Amino acid sequence: MILQEKYNDYQIILASNSPRRKQFLTDLGLTFTINPANVNEAYPSHLKGKDIALYIAQQKASVFNNLQANELVITCDTIVWIDGVALGKPENSADAKQMLQQLSGKTHEVISAVCIKSNQKEQLFYDVTKVSFNTLNPSDIAYYVETFQPFDKAGSYGIQEWIGLVGIEKINGSYTNVVGMPMEKLYKELMKW
């Protein structure tokens, strides 16, 4: 693999506990370690849409101040943007159900921002995918939340899970972006790096 050969001498750090992001990097053929960036994901109230995700991705990267010459850290943040409001991860079942009710029958944006950082430079980029949900009935929402417990997912859903099979009418943009990392853009950025 071209990318694998290019980064053979690098120590890549994925600053995320997300099993989906881990699988994506594994599928790219990269060798990496996991070192989650535990930061407060609060953001300034004046930020909107993509700027929220970019801010948080950069905050996660800022934890890694003493990178060695051969180290590269990758951070990512995903938000759901609907009606001028950012939906992050739900706090509990009631919060998850409320978020899904808010998404029901509407189109929202999934915005993922990525930061690639070395001791020499930092690159920030993002992707936006429009996702349209069918109208979800309360029993479907309750079943999904209770069965799949989507508490680690922005907007309280995983497109790759049951709710994506039965509830999503269409998407416009990158599928991997909705899962949690815009892999097409990440691949291009890593090839250019």
* Termini Cα distance of the chain: 16
The answer to whether 164 and 131 have CB atoms below 8 angstroms apart is no
**Which is the catalytic residue, given 77, 83, 95, 127?**
77
Quote the tokens at residue 136: 């979800």
Q: Is 77 a catalytic residue?
A: yes
147 exposure class (CB count in 10 Å sphere: 0-12, 13-18, 19+) = exposed
Q: Chain centroid to CA 58: how far?
A: 13
The answer to whether 37 and 61 have CB atoms below 8 angstroms apart is yes
Which residues are catalytic, by number?
Answer: 77
